[in-house]
C-alpha cells in the first residue's frame, strides 16, 4: 500500500463510532464560532463606539458580558471536544492492537522462523502508540485547525474582502511548504522508526539471552552493536531536527510577517475612513489565530510521518496470511497415523525431510531417533499441523490433516516440547491453560507425572504462583508440568519431543509406566536421544539428514548393526564410563 491508502485506511476507523464523532464535531463547530466572536465583538466596540466617542452603558456591558461568555464557552467546548476525541482515539488504538495481536497468534509458525521476538514486540507496542498520537494529536488538531481557519476566513470576508484576499494568499504558500516538508522528511522518519525497532529488538533479545552473552564473554560485541544502532538512530534524528528547523517555524513566521505587513500597508494606503481600526484589529487577531494552527499543523506533520510508517508495519501484520485449517470439525476418533512420501523444506530450497513414510496403528508406540538436525522435531511439527508438507500426505485417524479444523486438530493431538513455557500464574492455571478442567482432573494428571506430592507440599498447593520468585521449577519439573497439561484432556495422539530428557531415572521410569497404561487409549510418538527410554516401542524410525535410514523394533535394529546399533553401543559405553567414574569417587 502507498501512503495515501495507508492514511485512508487509518482515518476510516474514525467513522466506526459515528455518534461519538458527530458529537465531537458539533462541539468543535460551536467552539470555532465562539473563537471568531471575540475579535468581532471588539471590532464593534472600537469602530461603533470608541471611534465615535459614544459609550452607552447598556451596550458596553452587553459587549463585555458577551466577550466573557464566548471566551468561557470556547474553552469549555474545546475541552469537551478534546475529551470526546481522545476517547474515540484510544478506542481505535485498542481495536487496532487487538486485531494485530489476533492476527499474530493466528499466523503459521513459519511466519516466526526468521523474526526475532523482541523486534516483533517492539513493533506492536511502539507502533500502536504512534497511532494514538496520530488520532489524538494530528487528526484532532487538523480538524480543530480546519474549523478555526474556515470560521476565521468567513469572518474576515464579511469584514473586508480586500484584506481577506491578502490573507488568502498565505494559505497556498503554507500548503506548498507543508507538501515539500512531507517529501523531505519521509525517508528520515522511516529510517528513525526502523532503527528504533531494531534498538528495542536488540535490547529485548540481549536480556533474554543474558546468560549466554555473559557465558561466551560477548558483552563488548553486543555493546558495540547496540552503540552502532544508537549512532545511526542519532544521525536520522539529527536530519529530522534540521528539516524541522528550516520548514516548521521560520518559514511560517516569514509568511505570516509578510501578510501582517501587507495588512498594515493597505490600511495606511486606504485610510481608517475606508477600513476601520476595529476591522484592522480583528484582522490582525484573526491572522494570529490562523497562523498558530498552521504552525501547529506543520509541527504535527512529524507525528503524521511516524504514524504512516507505524500504520504500514501494523497493517502488514494484520494482513499477513493466517494459518489455514480445514473445515472438518468432527473429533479425531482413532489414533492411527499414516505418513506417505512426505517432503518438507522451511525456505523452499533446502530439503529437511525427504520421502518420509510411516504408519502407526491406534494405541501404537512410534519412536523417532537420530542425530541433531536429522528432522525428528520437524516431522513432529508436521504431525501437529504447524506446517503443511511440501508434498506427500499426512493422515490422522484416517482423515487428511489438511481437512481437519483447528478445534479437531488441537483436541485430538498434543505435543510436549523439550523446552516448555511456564506462565507467570498459579500452578492450576499452568495446567488448565484456561480450559474448563476440575481440580480432580488436575490432580489426576499431576499424579500421572509424579508431581502431585510435590504440589501438595507447596504453600498454597494449586494456588501457588509460578514465575514470581517464590517457586522456581527445575528443567525436569517444567517438562513434567507440560506433560500434565496434555494428559488432562487425554488426546488421541501424544507426541513427546525429548519430554523426559531432563528428569531423573526414577521419575522417568514412573512416567514410562504411566504412558504404558495410557497406550490403550492413545497413540504415542516419542522423540528421544536416550535409547533406553524407547526400547519397548512398536516401531523405531532412525532419521539421518531427513531420510529414513532404518526402521524396526529395538531388537531388529540391534541385529542389523547399522546406525541405531552404533548409537546404542556409544550410549552403553558412555553409561559404563560414568558408572566407573562414580565407583572411583566412592
Q: What per-residue confidence (pLDDT) applies to 483?
A: 81
- For residue 142, the enclosing domain spans 3-318
* Dihedral of the alpha carbons of 386, 388, 393, 398, in degrees to the nearest 10: 40
Residues 287 and 347 reside in one and the same domain: no
Residues 199 and 102 reside in one and the same domain: yes
State the Cα angle at 332 between 326 and 335, rounded to 5°. 125
Inside any domain, residue 577: yes
Distance of CA 396 to the CA centre of its chain: 34
Inside any domain, residue 456: no
Residues 553 and 524 reside in one and the same domain: yes
List C-alpha distances in Å: 195 to 122, 226, 234, 394, 508. 11, 11, 10, 43, 48
> Cα Rg for the chain, rounded, in angstroms?
36
Instruction: Count CB atoms within 10 A of the CB of residue 345.
Output: 17
Inside any domain, residue 516: yes
Residues of the chain with pLDDT under 70: 1, 47-54, 108-119, 122, 162-164, 166-171, 174-175, 178, 182, 186, 208, 211-212, 215-216, 245-284, 286-302, 467-470, 499-508, 510-511, 514, 517, 574-586
Inside any domain, residue 503: yes
Residues 350 and 214 reside in one and the same domain: no
Specify whether the CB–CB gap between 217 and 211 falls below 8 A: no
List the grid coordinates of 569. 553401543
Rounded-to-integer distance, Cα 469 and Cα 249, Å: 53
Rounded-to-integer distance, Cα 510 and Cα 487, Å: 15
Residues 359 and 267 reside in one and the same domain: no
Q: What per-residue confidence (pLDDT) applies to 282?
A: 66
Inside any domain, residue 140: yes
Residues 223 and 358 reside in one and the same domain: no
CATH code, domain carrying 564: 3.40.50.300
Specify whether the CB–CB gap between 88 and 13 falls below 8 A: no
Inside any domain, residue 465: no
Q: DSSP state, 404?
A: B
Q: What per-residue confidence (pLDDT) applies to 219?
A: 75
Inside any domain, residue 428: no
Inside any domain, residue 538: yes
Residues 101 and 142 reside in one and the same domain: yes
Q: E-strand spans in 251-385?
A: 337-344, 353-360, 365-369
- Whose cell is 471588539? That residue is 42
List the grid coordinates of 500. 523426559
Q: What per-residue confidence (pLDDT) applies to 273?
A: 44
Rounded-to-integer distance, Cα 377 and Cα 421, Å: 17
Residues 296 and 409 reside in one and the same domain: no
Specify whether the CB–CB gap between 365 and 519 falls below 8 A: yes
- Among candidate residues 290, 318, 346, the one where a domain is terminated: 318
Residues 88 and 140 reside in one and the same domain: yes
Q: What per-residue confidence (pLDDT) applies to 133?
A: 75
Q: What per-residue confidence (pLDDT) applies to 111?
A: 62
542: left (phi over 0), alpha (psi -120 to 50) or beta: beta
CATH code, domain carrying 173: 1.20.1560.10
Cα dihedral sign, 35-39-45-47: negative
Residue 361 has phi, psi (to 5 degrees) of -80, 160
Residues forming beta bridges with residue 374, ordered by sequence position: none
Q: What per-residue confidence (pLDDT) applies to 265?
A: 61
396 half-sphere exposure, CB direction, 13 A CA radius:
32
Residues 219 and 350 reside in one and the same domain: no
Instruction: Count CB atoms within 10 A of the CB of residue 209.
Output: 15
Specify whether the CB–CB gap between 247 and 177 falls below 8 A: yes
Instruction: Count CB atoms within 10 A of the CB of residue 89.
Output: 22
Residues 530 and 572 reside in one and the same domain: yes
List C-alpha distances in Å: 211 to 119, 227, 422. 20, 20, 19
C-alpha closest to that of 394 among 330, 338, 334: 338
Residue 225 has phi, psi (to 5 degrees) of -65, -45
Provide the domain count of the chain: 2
Rounded-to-integer distance, Cα 110 and Cα 85, Å: 40
Rounded-to-integer distance, Cα 369 and Cα 540, Å: 7
Specify whether the CB–CB gap between 542 and 557 falls below 8 A: yes
State the Cα angle at 204 between 203 and 209, rounded to 5°. 100
Residues 387 and 260 reside in one and the same domain: no
Residues 6+ apart with CB under 8 A from 329: 405, 407, 408
**Average pLDDT of the chain to the nearest whole number:** 76
- Among candidate residues 285, 318, 351, the one where a domain is terminated: 318
Amino acid at each position: 500500500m502507498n501512503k495515501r491508502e495507508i492514511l485512508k485506511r487509518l482515518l476510516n476507523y474514525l467513522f466506526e463510532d459515528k455518534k461519538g464523532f458527530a458529537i465531537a464535531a458539533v462541539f468543535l463547530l460551536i467552539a470555532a464560532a465562539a473563537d471568531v466572536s471575540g475579535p468581532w465583538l471588539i471590532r464593534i466596540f472600537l469602530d461603533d463606539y470608541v471611534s465615535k466617542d459614544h459609550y452607552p452603558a447598556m451596550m458596553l456591558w452587553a459587549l463585555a458580558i458577551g466577550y466573557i461568555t464566548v471566551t468561557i464557552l470556547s474553552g469549555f467546548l474545546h475541552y469537551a471536544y478534546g475529551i470526546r476525541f481522545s476517547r474515540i482515539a484510544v478506542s481505535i488504538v485498542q481495536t487496532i492492537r487487538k486485531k494485530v495481536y489476533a492476527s499474530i497468534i493466528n499466523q503459521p509458525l513459519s511466519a516466526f522462523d526468521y523474526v526475532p521476538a523482541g523486534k516483533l514486540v517492539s513493533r506492536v507496542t511502539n507502533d500502536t502508540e504512534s497511532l494514538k498520537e496520530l488520532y489524538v494529536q494530528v487528526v484532532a488538531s487538523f480538524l480543530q485547525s480546519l474549523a478555526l481557519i474556515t470560521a476565521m476566513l468567513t469572518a474576515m470576508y464579511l469584514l473586508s474582502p480586500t484584506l481577506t484576499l491578502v490573507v488568502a494568499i498565505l494559505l497556498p504558500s503554507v500548503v506548498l511548504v507543508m507538501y515539500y516538508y512531507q517529501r523531505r522528511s519521509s525517508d528520515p522518519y522511516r529510517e528513525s522508526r526502523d532503527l528504533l525497532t531494531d534498538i528495542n529488538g536488540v535490547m529485548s533479545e540481549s536480556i533474554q539471552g543474558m546468560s549466554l552473552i555473559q557465558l561466551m564473554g560477548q558483552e563488548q560485541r553486543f555493546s558495540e552493536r547496540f552503540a552502532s544502532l544508537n549512532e545511526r538512530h542519532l544521525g536520522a534524528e539529527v536530519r529530522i531536527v534540521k528539516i524541522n528547523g528550516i520548514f516548521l517555524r521560520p518559514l511560517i513566521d516569514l509568511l505570516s510577517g509578510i501578510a501582517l505587513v501587507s495588512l498594515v500597508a493597505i490600511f495606511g494606503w486606504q485610510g481608517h475612513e475606508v477600513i476601520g481600526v476595529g476591522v484592522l484589529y480583528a484582522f490582525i487577531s484573526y491572522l494570529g489565530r490562523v497562523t498558530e494552527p498552521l504552525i501547529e499543523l506543520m509541527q504535527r506533520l512529524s507525528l503524521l510521518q511516524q504514524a504512516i510508517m507505524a500504520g504500514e508495519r501494523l497493517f502488514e501484520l494484520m494482513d499477513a496470511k493466517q494459518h489455514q485449517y480445514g473445515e472438518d470439525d468432527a473429533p479425531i476418533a482413532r489414533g492411527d497415523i499414516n505418513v506417505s512420501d512426505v517432503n518438507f523444506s522451511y525456505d523452499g530450497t533446502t530439503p529437511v525431510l525427504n520421502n518420509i513414510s510411516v504408519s502407526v496403528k491406534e494405541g501404537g508406540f512410534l519412536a523417532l531417533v537420530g542425530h541433531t538436525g536429522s528432522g525428528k522435531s520437524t516431522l513432529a511439527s508436521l504431525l501437529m499441523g504447524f506446517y503443511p508438507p511440501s508434498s506427500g500426505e499426512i493422515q490422522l485417524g484416517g482423515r487428511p490433516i489438511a481437512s481437519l479444523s483447528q478445534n479437531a486438530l488441537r483436541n485430538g493431538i498434543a505435543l510436549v516440547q523439550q523446552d516448555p513455557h511456564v506462565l507467570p500464574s498459579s500452578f492450576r492455571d499452568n495446567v488448565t491453560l484456561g480450559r474448563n478442567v476440575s481440580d480432580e482432573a488436575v490432580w489426576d494428571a499431576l499424579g500421572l507425572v509424579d508431581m502431585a506430592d510435590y504440589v501438595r507440599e507447596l504453600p498454597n498447593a494449586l494456588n501457588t504462583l509460578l514465575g514470581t520468585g517464590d517457586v522456581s521449577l527445575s528443567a525436569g519439573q517444567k517438562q513434567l508440568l507440560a506433560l500434565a497439561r496434555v494428559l488432562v484432556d487425554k488426546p488421541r495422539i501424544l507426541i513427546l519431543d525429548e519430554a523426559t530428557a531432563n528428569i531423573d531415572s526414577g521419575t522417568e521410569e514412573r512416567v514410562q509406566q504411566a504412558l504404558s497404561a495410557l497406550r490403550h487409549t492413545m497413540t504415542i510418538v516419542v522423540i528421544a536421544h536416550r535409547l533406553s527410554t524407547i526400547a519397548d516401542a512398536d516401531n523405531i524410525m532412525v532419521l539421518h539428514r531427513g531420510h529414513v535410514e532404518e526402521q524396526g523394533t529395538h531388537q531388529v535394529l540391534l541385529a542389523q548393526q547399522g546406525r541405531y546399533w552404533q548409537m546404542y553401543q556409544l550410549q552403553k559405553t558412555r553409561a559404563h564410563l560414568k558408572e566407573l567414574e562414580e565407583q572411583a569417587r566412592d
